[in-house]
Amino acid sequence: MGHQGNRSHHRGERQISPVFIGIFAVMAVTGWAVWTGYSTSTGLAVFLFVTAAWIVSLCLHEYAHARTALHSGDLSVGAKGYLTLNPMAYSHAVLSFVLPVLFIIIGGIGLPGGAVYIERGRIQGRWKHSLISAAGPLTNVAFAVVCTAPFWLHALEGVPGPFRLALAFLALLQVTAAILNFLPVPGLDGYGVIEPWLSYGIRRQVEPLAPFGLIAVFALLWIPEVNRFFFDAVYGLLDSVGVTDLEAHCGRELYTFWRDEGGFFCATPLG
């Protein structure tokens, strides 16, 4: 009876949350509405589709951290609810979900989230620690690959224009999130990748800076020259897989439909 109780307990810890299923369903339904043109407001449908898909990617990002930690020795992630894909189970839900959504609305940039607490003391081996940190942004890379697949596979024939633009903007978000996350800045996953390989003294000195790392990155992005360099790199990566600047830009304009700033070029069907 005890063993059966433990097994059911573990299944409960890893059962997909109805909250995540609901968000995924919104993504699927609104994606269908964008594809078919069923919605009376294409912009609203794109907004809901991209936002839901972005939240799904955030959930998968955090899940990747937790799942990798589980297999590396931290069994506590299950009890914390991190394996259910439930965004409400994460600490700092504002940091991990509310702020990222606000940032794509106001700035069109994929803000890295950070919500799972890994008990690092349970994990042995520097490679495991690095892999746990890398697992999250690698999920964003995978999501970007999926979003851009129709472009680099030259399989856009028959893909409706609004859906194509929504994919382009979603790919932009995933690429920005991956790049920002991989920066070796304290508090971001990129620093978590290299941290196990640094000396104890350096880690102690850098540790107090972790809460300010993300703030510093976004302060730098407000500098026009830095912002231009960053987005040139992002658009360069997108262009290398067949997503043009115009498609990503028009996807963002379609997403922020209430602004109605698309102009002639975005109002004209692409392809």
Q: Of the listed 13, 62, 157, 261, which one is catalytic?
A: 62
For 24, residues 6+ apart whose C-beta sits below 8 A from its C-beta are 52, 56
For 242, residues 6+ apart whose C-beta sits below 8 A from its C-beta are 148, 151, 152, 154
Q: Which two tokens stand for residue 61?
A: 């990002």
Residue 244, by phi and psi: left (phi above 0), alpha (psi -120 to 50) or beta?
A: beta
CA dist 165 and 152 (Å) reads 15
Of 186, 51, 196, 191, nearest in space to 121 by CA: 196
DSSP, res 83:
G
- Residue 62 annotated as catalytic: yes
Of 194, 196, 198, 200, nearest in space to 182 by CA: 194
SS3 183: coil
For 165, residues 6+ apart whose C-beta sits below 8 A from its C-beta are 46, 247, 250, 251, 254, 270
Catalytic residue annotation: 62
